[in-house]
Amino acid sequence: MIDFIRNSIALRQQRGKTASYVLNVDSEWGGGKSFFLKRLAEQLRAERHVVAEVNSWRDDHSDDPLVALMAEIDKALKPLFAKKNKIEAAWSAVKADGAKIAGRALLSAGKTALRRYVGAELDELMAEEGIESNSTSGEVIGEAINAVGKELETLTDKTADALIAKFAAASRSIDSFRKNMSHLVGALSQSEFKAPLFVLVDELDRCRPSYAVASLERVKHLFETNGVAFVFATDTAQLQHTIRGAYGGEFDGRAYLDRFFDRRYSFETPNLQRFVRERLAGFDSSKVTSFGDDWQRIVVSCFEAQKISSLRTIGRILDIVETTVLAWRYPEKIELCSLLFLSSCYEQTHEFDVRFAQHFLGAWVIQDRTKTQPAFIDLANVAGTVIQKARNLREAVTPPHNQRDVSLNHDPVEEYIISVFAPEFNRKNPGFGAPSVQSELPALIRCAGRTTGQR
């Protein structure tokens, strides 16, 4: 990606175009965008690029995103000022132009607010002062306002001239800003640092609509200059909804964004097996029991059955699983299918709603590798049966009436479920109706869900 951006900028420069670039890294919530930007920033700095990192959601309390952008660029450049006087001088010129532009925006916003106040309904203002709308005082106020209106009409020509002059001054400030940004990049290139200057923007899709739009507009109109590259990491589908929030529900958010982004980059589908293996490194598998001997295969198949694509969500479910196992204090092993089922249910619904099973039924299936002929095991059924039978330990180890003779009717699922409860039954020899320790899983998982945090 770094080479692609650098080469794209160089190609534009060869063709006589503005040598800037804006890339949109597009991934849904929890897809690893923030992690990616952090690693990208580290790699860019290792290759001697100056990098500014902007968190738009953190900064959207600002009235003008230009201030937040310049603050982060300032932070990235300050370590260079002591030895690189040309860089400091070039950046000072950029900041001076930026202050003028941002200042005009704030002044305009203040005037707009004042006009709104002055333009409030006369009746409301009079009511606050206790003046009747048909009173003599009301008539006097009305006449005064009319007189002011006539006076304002005489100032129309002067106002138009002033507005034109203000527009021209703003245009000059923008042109100067772009020019000085180019000088800044040139000063960087003359030192040991490389062009382009990178600005990495995260969380724009979480901002209020007006701030998101203003951020894009500022980048388009001010930073489209030689040697500057922006990388926006967004859930672009969500950002389109944000744009519609500013312009209306029928507005074409995607076409609007195409004006700002030169190219979109999407992450490839993550390797779920690798993620689970690395995420559960050091997991104490001796405290769980599972159907077959490959517990990681069962964990992966659980998420595949749910069609969860967000690594953040998967990570939180695994966090609950791991915390529950750490808190388990019984010699008996936790049944893995029911642990995964209940942890997934709690993470996504914050309860143990039986309707959640509909996500699994017929989908959470693995092949029984102990069979010479293809045979498939419904792990959702295994989880549901364990959860149900955990209420009565003695009943859990008693095979159904039609399967009392296991040698005549071999059912691997029933054998497995009995093996889950048999060690506890033999240790306790409980009376009829006593629950299994497996019945405590929901309470433990609820506590784990309230206390765990994503690594």
Q: Cα–Cα distance between 69 and 102 in angstroms, integer? A: 11
The helix, strand and coil proportions of the chain, stated in percent and rounded to the nearest 5, come to 65, 10, 30
Residue 69, number of CB atoms within 10 A of its CB:
25
Cα atoms in the 13 Å half-sphere on the side-chain side of 391: 5
Cα 131 to chain centroid, rounded: 53
Per DSSP, helices labelled H in 259-363 are 272-279, 295-306, 311-327, 336-349
Q: In terms of Cα–Cα distance, which of 250, 229, 226, 230 is closest to 240? A: 250
157 token code pair: 């020509």
- What is the identity of the amino acid at 284? D
Question: What residues contact 135, with CB distance under 8 A and at least 6 apart?
Answer: none
Q: Cα–Cα distance between 138 and 149 in angstroms, integer? A: 17
Q: Cα–Cα distance between 178 and 88 in angstroms, integer? A: 16
Contact indicator for 171, 24 with CB cutoff of 8 Å? no
Q: Cα–Cα distance between 181 and 90 in angstroms, integer? A: 8
Task: Tell me whether residue 149 is exposed, middle or buried, using C-beta atoms within 10 angstroms of its C-beta: 0 to 12, 13 to 18, 19 or more.
Answer: exposed
pTM: 0.64
Tens-level pLDDT at each residue, the chain (455 residues): 899 999 999 999 899 898 899 999 998 887 889 989 999 999 999 999 999 999 998 888 877 888 888 888 888 888 776 655 677 777 787 777 777 666 555 545 544 443 444 444 444 544 555 555 455 555 655 565 555 555 555 555 566 667 677 666 767 777 787 788 888 888 887 888 888 999 999 998 888 888 888 898 888 888 888 889 999 999 888 888 888 888 887 888 888 888 889 999 988 877 889 999 998 988 999 999 998 778 999 999 999 988 887 888 899 999 999 999 999 999 999 999 999 999 998 988 888 776 666 666 668 888 776 666 667 888 988 998 999 999 999 988 887 655 555 444 567 888 899 999 999 999 888 877 899 999 999 999 999 988 755 44
Q: In terms of Cα–Cα distance, which of 339, 345, 282 is closest to 313? A: 345
Contact indicator for 292, 366 with CB cutoff of 8 Å? yes
**Which pairing describes strands 49-55 and 194-202: parallel, antiparallel, or unpaired?**
parallel
Q: How far is CA 197 from CA 19, 33, 115, in A?
A: 11, 20, 41
